[in-house]
Each structure stands twice: as C-alpha cells, then as structure tokens.
Amino acid sequence: MSTALQWPMWMAGASVTAAAVIPVHDPEDGSVVGTVPSASREQAVAAVVAAARGTRVAAALATHQRLAILARAAELVAERAEEFATLIAREGSKTIREARHEARRCAETLRISAEETRRAAGETILFDQAVGSEDRVGYWQRGPVGLITAITPFNDPLNLVAHKVGPAIAAGNAVIVKPSDETPLSALKLAGVLLEAGLPPESLSVVTGRAETVGEPLVSHPAVRMISFTGGLRSGTAIAHQAGLKKMAMELGSNSPVIILADADRERAVEATVSGAFWAAGQNCLGVQRVFIEEAVYDDVAERMVARARTIRLGRKLDETTDMGPLINEREARRVDDWVKASVRQGARLLTGGKRDGAYFTPTVLDKVPAGAIVLEEEIFGPVVSLIPVKSLSEAIGQANSVNYGLQAGVFTRDLPNAFRAIRELEVGGVMINDSSDYRIDAMPFGGVKGSGLGREGVKFAMQEMTEIKVVCFNPQG
C-alpha cells in the first residue's frame, strides 16, 4: 500500500483513484497528511458489485487459512507499530503515546480474531426429543453472512477498523470498509497489511468518499447483507432507514456516567475518572461525561478532579510529554465551546478549562449543571465532564438512567451489595466496578442499550453477529 501523499482506495483487488480527492488534514496545524479519492456514487455501486463476487472467495478459505492470515497480519502490525502510531497521530487527534496504545490494541484484536476462527463451531441437535423423530440426527453450524459494509469513525481509526474486519474475515465474509473522511489513511494502511498477510484481494475493499455520496449505495445495495456501523445516533438512525432488511450491528455512542460513593478509594476514582474523561481529547464513545458523587465526599472529590485536570498538558501530538492533543477539527472545538457556554449561561459553574485555541480545547470540569442542559443529555465528544452531587446510590442510578443512552458505566465503591445493586439497576451494556466507564479490553462483549446501539462488538461476539445459523438434519428413512 502506497505511503505517498496520494493514496488510492482499494476495490476488490483493484487500486482505484477518482476524479476528485479528499485532503486529510492534521488537526494540529491544518497541514495535509495525504489525499484519498473521493469516490463517486457509481464507483460505490461498482465496489459493491465487485465485492459481492469476493464473497465466494472469502467463504472458501479454510479455517487454517483464515487463522494464518489474521495471525500474520497481527505480527506485521506489531512489527510496524511505530509507523501506525505516527500515522494515527498525524491524521487524527491522538498523542503519540495514545496512538501507540491503539496500534498495540489493533495487533491484539487481530490476534484474538485469529484465535476465534477455531471456535466458530456449532452443536449437535437431539432430534429424538420430538415424537416421530427418533431416527433423525443432525446439527447446526455457523456460516458467513456474505458481504458486510463496515463504517468506522475518526476517533479510533485503526483499531475500530480491526474490530470489524478481523471478525468478518474470521467468519468467512467479504467486507467493504468505509472509513471516516477525517482519518482514512490508517484503514488503507491496515488493508495493505492484510493483503500482504495473504488475504485474497477480492474479499476486502476500502472505499473513501463523502458519506452523502457513497453512503447510501454502500448500505442499501441488496448485495450487502450486513451493516456494521460505529458513529452517532442520528447517522445510525438514517442508515437503518436506508439499509432495508439486513443484519445490523451499531455502536452509537453515549454520555457515560460514573458513580463515586462515599466509601470509594477517592484517589483511584479520581485518577481513573479524569483519564476516562480526557483520553483522546474526550473523543471516545466510552468517555466519562457525567460524574455522580455522594454528597459526603463531593467537595473533596471535586477539588481533586479539578487539580488533576489542571495537570494535563496540551501540546504537539508527537511530543512525548504531551497528554492531550486537539479535537479532530476546529469546527468540533467550536461546537464543544458553544455547548459549554450554553450550560454556563443556564447556571452551570465552570471549575476549570473552557478555553478554545483553534482545534484545542482545555480539559473542562463543570458543576451545578442544570437538568436538561445539553452537556447532560447528549454526547459531547470533547474534553468536558460534569460533576453532580447525589444523596444516595438510588439517586445516582436514577439520574444515570435518565438519558437515551446506555453504553457503559463506572461505579467506585467498596460495598459489595451496592456494587451488585448498581450492576442490576444501571441500564447499560457494561458496568465497571472500581474502574471508569472507559475501561475495555478487546475480547469482551461491547455495546449498549437504548440509543447506544444494537448488537455487540468484541471479536467473538462480533463474529456471532456476522454469521448465519444453518440447521442440518439427516433422515435415514429417505
């Protein structure tokens, strides 16, 4: 795969350009990192038709072949982790240290995908449990869905692609990746690694282009049998309407809560919560957005959080001492600034931060945020956290559940009954006890409830979503 300024897209074995290009800007200074083709609608349709032919090639790969391809790809990503990290940092928001973490996770995701190819088996069925079926024998097995369109966001431009492509390949599917316009280069580089590792070129495409041009054909074409989407609720809803009758897995974000009770280890709670709020400049679907703190310790926890937030160093992303980089672009930084100012006008108190410089926005802590404020209701996707005092766990759970999101939550307590009560009552896809909502490993099931999405990611669980069950029954009386 080319590392030159002009990157081609990949369509089922063909390196393709387009009449127009999309420049990929470094949000730090606006410089152009590279350009990618801006595919036309006709090219998107052609990509689907070509990729559909690749479904037979993908399904014909034996388990040991899929395993070997994914294992080799994991090795190559690990060997080239610094190259990937530098590219992630250049085209996106992450600092070099955050980008290295993502590159390591990508290698791990591909390794897990390789391992899970061995386990995608079915079970025998006891047909003789039904009267009249005493002589029948059979089983069920999993087979590939066929062609999957995978749509990925800018905030994890490498590992979120791996979380879709790895399980898709492991399950025997062909896949079209539509990466974010903001950060497409990591996806193209990963495609190059997978092809180098031996993946049949017909089974993988990476289509770059504007969503308003290529999005509809990539999701609505009848040859596409599944959509795997990570992004916002509004976009996910539009895709669901466009797609028609096909499988869908969607991770649609959140405004994740953390609950800190009076008996918690406050130092641990503050450190984990601050990290969870400001990792990748807060552009994280698991990022901590609302912190419910028991009144008895509210002042102390708030003071600690403000002090810790003020130690976060903003700066150049490739500087090893930088803790936090810019948002993905100045437009998003202005939106975050508008949301914060709107909340302050409504009565919120700005404890620290709230300053914008281009695409940079300082780590921001709010309290006294009035009910109904946008920073409490919607996903801010920026470095802003709101602190809310509560009288009890009951009140914290009630407020945590009051929004139309439910991805993950964090709860800090030493009290086991309270921990298990929170696990039972929080309306989320995952509850992290004595960790922030931001905690995740790549092998665990990952997804949410309500407006946070449909289905689950995490390699094993994504593979289940990306397969169809077929029942086989033998009647010896035939």
Considering only CA atoms, give the Rg of the chain.
23
Rounded to whole angstroms, the Cα distance separating 429 from 407 reads 5
8-state DSSP, 153: -
Kindly give, in sequence order, each residue whose CB lies less than 8 Å from that of residue 399, ignoring residues fewer than 6 positions away: 257, 290, 292, 388, 390
Alpha carbons 138 and 160: distance in angstroms, whole number:
37
Name every residue whose Cβ is closer than 8 Å to that of residue 426 and which is 6 or more positions away in sequence.
257, 397, 400, 401, 406, 409, 411
CB half-sphere exposure, 197, CA atoms < 13 A:
28
Q: In what helix (H) or strand (E) does residue 424 lie, and over which residues does it extend?
A: helix 416-425
> Residue 404, SS3?
coil
Beta pairing partners, 6: 35
To the query of whether residue 251 is one of the catalytic residues in this protein, the response is: yes
**Is 98 in a helix, a strand, or coil?**
helix
Query: Rounded to the nearest 5°, which phi and psi values hold at 332?
Result: -65, -35
Out of 285, 378, 379, 465, pick the active-site residue. Answer: 285
Distance, in Å, from the CA atom of 254 to the CA atom of 429, rounded to the nearest integer, reads 11
262: tokens are 């009076």
Q: Which residue has the tokens 């086991």?
A: 416
Q: Which residue in 28, 98, 102, 251 is the catalytic one?
A: 251
Phi, psi of 349 (to 5 degrees): -110, 130
Q: Among 53, 56, 163, which residue's Cα sits nearest to residue 105?
A: 163
Residue 433 CB: number of other CB atoms within 10 A?
A: 16
For the record, the structure tokens of 266 come out as 């406050």
Q: How far apart are CA 65 and CA 16, in angstroms?
A: 27
Which residue type, as a one-letter code, is found at position 261? Answer: L
Q: What angle do CA 330, 214, 41 make, to 5 degrees?
A: 130
CA separation for the pair 383, 273 (Å, rounded): 12
Of 137, 129, 125, 130, the closest CA to residue 475 belongs to 137
DSSP code at position 457? B
Torsion-angle region of 398 (φ positive above 0: left; ψ -120 to 50: alpha; else: beta): alpha
Q: Which residues contact 237 (CB under 8 A, 6 or more apart)?
A: none
Catalytic amino acids? 251, 285
